[in-house]
């Protein structure tokens, strides 16, 4: 038995395949490269959800827009205490107020919610009024507008679409497994998403990209990278944005996001710093851990892309949730369809009761 369940197979899924040796991600029959930067978030939701629920193939964009308007009513209940929480915890608390269910309307509510609630939380924290959704907009464009208050440019909307698609699903990662466990009890899709977001927010999973920005800011210029990284490892820190449980080679999502940064035309100096830090980190990790291939993961370029889109690092995990929630939903439906409760067993290694 391994404490991290690394060799345990816990589901059959049609949703995604993570090939850790080849560095390849397949999303329901299509490679990541054929979707990221090509298809919209809504189109890939249709790809994942088809056959699991009665998805309106041509109407998902409108249905998701209507769901953003539906969940907006919850923003009235956003108080100062909620706004003072770390954004991902505020998002979780607001999502917990949504009506639960296992049907398509519940799926649309939880998929709409991170965009609407993250925008409202960030604006409230900045002392500005929350902005109502525009149901006619694409999900990515509307998410950006609800945060910044300005209409997203087509390039910005395309970059966020590429991000949401890149992170939409990824095998049985920790948050998806948590979501499947909750769904297997028939608790509902909102509960499954709450389980997912609770697992996602940790720094070993979806909490990693915020600290990547701290690392880049701490390093400041390429010449400082090596010394800064060596000192971090000497303290016993892990380098955020590197290493993966499944990939033994470079995470293909890193390059999908790097491509999105280039297409966005983001700040060349910042990207050059990122590339210099990445190169130094990979070289140092190779020297220090020669037996364990540690490569760049999705979170490194997530940080650079979301930063270039003007999203504050404190909200990076909320944006990750905005994409991954569609995967959690698909997995929840898939798990419910098995009709089986997830309930593994443990081996007791505690003390025996005293003899009577």
Residues belonging to the active site: 244, 299
User: Is 172 strand, coil or helix?
Assistant: strand
- Residue 239 in the binding site for ligand CMC (CB under 6 A): yes
Rounded to whole angstroms, what are the CA distances from 219 to 273, 274, 282, 343? 9, 10, 15, 45
DSSP state of 205: T
Binders in 14-33 for ligand CMC, by CB under 6 A = none
Instruction: Indicate the residue among 15 and 55 with the shorter CB distance to ligand CMC.
Output: 15
**Minimum distance from CB of 98 to ligand CMC (Å)?**
24
- Residue 245 in the binding site for ligand CMC (CB under 6 A): yes
How far the first Cα of the chain sits from its last, in Å, is 32
- Residue 244 in the binding site for ligand CMC (CB under 6 A): yes
Instruction: Indicate the residue among 190 and 254 with the shorter CB distance to ligand CMC.
Output: 254
Instruction: Indicate the residue among 36 and 78 with the shorter CB distance to ligand CMC.
Output: 36
Q: Which of 8, 292, 310, 338 binds ligand CMC (CB under 6 A)?
A: 292
Asked whether the beta carbons of 295 and 94 are under 8 A apart, the reply is no
- Residue 208 in the binding site for ligand CMC (CB under 6 A): yes
Binders in 98-157 for ligand CMC, by CB under 6 A = none
Instruction: Indicate the residue among 206 and 274 with the shorter CB distance to ligand CMC.
Output: 206
Q: How many chain residues interact with ligand CMC (CB under 6 A)?
A: 20
Look at strands 30-31 and 24-27 and give their pairing: antiparallel
Can you tell me the distance from the alpha carbon of 216 to that of 237, in angstroms, rounded to the nearest whole number? 15
Q: Using CB under 6 A, which of the segments 129-137, 140-148, 201-209, 260-268 binds ligand CMC? A: 201-209
Can you tell me the distance from the alpha carbon of 279 to that of 101, in angstroms, rounded to the nearest whole number? 46
C-alpha 109 chain-centroid distance = 17
Can you tell me the distance from the alpha carbon of 75 to that of 55, in angstroms, rounded to the nearest whole number? 27
- Judged by the rule CB under 6 A, the positions of this chain that interact with ligand CMC are 4, 173, 204-206, 208, 238-245, 289, 292, 294, 297-299
């Amino acid at each position: 038995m391994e404490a991290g369940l690394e060799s345990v197979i816990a589901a059959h899924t049609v949703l995604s395949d993570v090939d850790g040796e080849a560095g390849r991600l397949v999303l329901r029959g299509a490679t990541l490269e054929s979707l990221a930067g090509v298809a919209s978030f809504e189109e890939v939701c249709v790809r994942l959800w088809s056959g699991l629920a009665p998805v309106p193939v041509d109407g998902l964009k409108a249905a998701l827009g209507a769901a953003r308007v539906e969940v907006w009513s919850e923003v009235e209940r956003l108080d100062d205490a909620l706004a003072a929480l770390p954004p991902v915890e505020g998002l979780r608390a607001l999502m917990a107020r949504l009506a639960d269910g296992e049907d398509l309307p519940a799926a649309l509510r939880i998929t709409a919610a991170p965009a609407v609630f993250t925008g409202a939380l960030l604006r409230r924290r900045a002392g500005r009024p929350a902005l109502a959704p525009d149901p006619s907009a694409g999900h990515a464009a509307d998410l950006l507008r609800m945060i910044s208050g300005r209409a997203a440019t087509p390039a910005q909307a395309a970059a966020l679409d590429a991000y949401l698609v890149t992170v939409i699903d990824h095998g049985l990662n920790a948050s998806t497994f948590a979501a499947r466990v909750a769904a297997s009890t028939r608790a509902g899709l909102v509960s499954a998403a709450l389980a997912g977001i609770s697992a996602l927010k940790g720094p070993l999973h979806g909490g990693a990209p915020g600290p990547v920005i701290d690392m880049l800011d701490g390093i400041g210029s390429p010449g400082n990278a090596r010394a800064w990284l060596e000192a971090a490892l000497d303290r016993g820190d892990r380098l955020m944005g590197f290493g993966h449980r499944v990939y033994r080679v470079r995470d293909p999502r890193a390059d999908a996001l790097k491509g999105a940064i280039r297409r966005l035309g983001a700040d060349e100096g910042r990207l050059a710093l990122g590339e210099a830090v990445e190169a130094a980190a990979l070289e140092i990790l190779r020297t220090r851990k020669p037996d364990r291939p540690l490569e760049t993961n999705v979170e490194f370029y997530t940080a650079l892309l979301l930063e270039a889109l003007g999203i504050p690092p404190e909200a990076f995990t909320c944006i990750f949730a905005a994409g991954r929630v569609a995967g959690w939903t698909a997995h929840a439906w898939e798990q419910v369809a098995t009709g089986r409760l997830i309930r593994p067993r443990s081996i007791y290694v505690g003390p025996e009761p005293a003899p009577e």
